[in-house]
Amino acid sequence: MVETASAMPDVPLMAARGITKSFASIEVLRDVDLDLRRGEIHALLGENGAGKSTFAKILAGVHRPTRGTLTLNGAQVEVLNPIVAQRLGITLIHQEPICFPDLTVAENLVLGQKGGSPLARVPWAEMTRNARQLMDLLGVKIDVSKTMRGLSIADQQMVEIARALASDSRLIIMDEPTAPLTPKEVETLFAIARRLRDEGRTIVFISHRLEEVRILCNRVTIFRDGNKVATEDIQSFTDADIIRQMIGRPLREYMKKHGTTIGEVALKVEGLTLPGVFFDISLEVRKGEIVGLGGLVGAGRTDVARAIFGVSPAASGKISINGKPVQISDPSQAIALGLAFVPEDRAAAGIFRTLPVEENITAAVPGKIAPSGVIRRSLERVLAEDSVRKLRIRLASFRQPIGELSGGNQQKTILARWLLTEPRVLILDEPTRGIDIGVKAEFYDMIGELAASGRAILLISSELPELLALCDRVLVMSEGRITANIPRERATQESIMNAAVPRSTREAAA
């Protein structure tokens, strides 16, 4: 049974003392002390690589500390692995839920639970009934007879939470749980988190979204470079305080427009149309110019970018590069013409997860690493080392699989790959989605420097402050069409949103 918040008021549910963790010779956590109270939602914040996820994985038994101790209800414990953690009442819910995709929801809920014997018959009816009760308790409508493969990421997360309830977890760790969710799904998740908190359970909430932390969490702990730098009530911090603690300097120093000289048109699109997706798209991006492409989800922004780059070519329309008409029917042609495309879906379309970092960096320039048709590892390493240094990519080894890097460092690696192609036009689709504030700040600097070097940049972003801070102009799409072209001096959040909202919605609201 979960203890209430008042059961042991002077003893934290879990306490960490001197937690230190090293991977090989790299120390990623140093002497972290932290108390987690009953009945609180406690945020862990920090840049990618700051140590927050490593600390959470130590609590959940994924990693064992190099030194330090953990106590649960005042008694020292060793969380040897996730199974031990589960038996102690600790559950880690990953950003991408871990499940058995071909088993049903009900079957996934009972996996790892104690009880039964190898030769016992499975009580299918009871298992299904208990699964439905758990879903009812969460207030979500999920068919427990469906396989996990058929569920959305949001519903898979709800199943993970239900599994935590089934195992009577007292400490639930949510690692970037809202990254793949819609606003409505986020509301549902937050309502459940508050309900669990009110029952006396403790939630550790890892996020890079300060607005979510502020409305949901009671306390916040900030990590920087493997050190815990602060733990306070959320009301004690302004957003500026949090950002300064995380990155060591105010964000406003990064979110400023670099001085650039805007030159001739580098990319021109005229009447680009893909029936049913987008219509009559015309735009220009000049050398040294950052043009934003804003709009609501589903407006067609990514589809336009993919069409320009030849991933899904348009049915009609014209594209010109440096004043010359071109035909782009696949990405290889786009690359040869000096275009580069950093995609929105990093995991599915940006990285080769199991390949080493250096091979991910050089994947788009085979001619540079294999001039005679055979890959020269020495050339590959030189290019990779130069890219890692320039973009400040954090890694343990150049042969480390890129899937082991943090999201921000994966995104830097993708950008490094495209910069090696020496592009004249860069299309960046949500380049800072899913990465923390510190790495965002570095990206803002890099984007500004790329424009200052004379590159033309088309920046797709759903974050209005990002568009307003970085862009010379903002194009707005709604229902597959460009509805506004707003110069920097007249761009506001209101003007962008007014152009982004479908006309039918505006008329209904009026």
pLDDT tens-digit profile of 16-31? 999 999 887 678 899 9
Count CB-CB contacts under 10 A for residue 297: 9
Flag whether pLDDT at 256 surpasses 70: no
pLDDT, mean of residues 96-105: 78
Helix (H, G, I), strand (E, B) or coil at 400: coil
Flag whether pLDDT at 89 surpasses 80: yes
Residue 121 confidence (pLDDT):
66
* pLDDT class of 84 with cuts at 50, 70, 90: very high
Task: Return the domain boundaries, the chain.
Answer: 14-248, 265-338+423-509
* pLDDT class of 273 with cuts at 50, 70, 90: very high
Flag whether pLDDT at 122 surpasses 70: no
Residue 505 confidence (pLDDT):
46
pLDDT, mean of residues 135-148: 82
* pLDDT class of 95 with cuts at 50, 70, 90: low
**Is-same-fold flag (14-248; 265-338+423-509)?**
yes
pLDDT, mean of residues 58-75: 95
Backbone angles phi, psi at 22, to 5 degrees: -125, 140
Helix (H, G, I), strand (E, B) or coil at 34: strand
Gap between the Cα atoms of 60 and 53, Å rounded: 10
Model confidence pLDDT, tens digit, residues 172-204: 999 888 866 777 778 888 988 999 999 999 999
Report the topology of domain 14-248.
Rossmann fold (3.40.50)
For the entire predicted model, the pTM comes to 0.60
Model confidence pLDDT, tens digit, residues 103-113: 888 888 876 55
DSSP per-residue string spanning 377-435: HHHHHHHHHHHHHHHT---S-TTSBGGGS-HHHHHHHHHHHHHTT--SEEEEESTTTT-
Residue 508 confidence (pLDDT):
46
Contact 423, 455 (CB under 8 A): yes
Count CB-CB contacts under 10 A for residue 100: 12
Gap between the Cα atoms of 8 and 328, Å rounded: 67
Flag whether pLDDT at 158 surpasses 90: no
* pLDDT class of 509 with cuts at 50, 70, 90: very low
- β-strand partners of 423: none
Token duo for residue 377: 């590892």
The closest alpha carbon to 260, from 442, 437, 466, 473, belongs to: 473
Q: What CATH code is assigned to 265-338+423-509?
A: 3.40.50.300
Count CB-CB contacts under 10 A for residue 123: 12
Contact 140, 177 (CB under 8 A): no
* pLDDT class of 464 with cuts at 50, 70, 90: confident
Q: Which residues of 438-473 are buried (b: 16+ CB within 10 A; e: fewer)?
A: bbbbbbbebbbebbeebbbbbbbbbebebbbbbbbb
pLDDT mean across residues, the chain: 86
pLDDT, mean of residues 54-79: 94
pLDDT, mean of residues 402-410: 84
Model confidence pLDDT, tens digit, residues 283-328: 999 999 999 999 887 789 999 999 999 999 999 999 999 999 999 9
Flag whether pLDDT at 5 surpasses 50: no
pLDDT, mean of residues 356-378: 90
Residue 156 confidence (pLDDT):
82
Gap between the Cα atoms of 405 and 427, Å rounded: 23
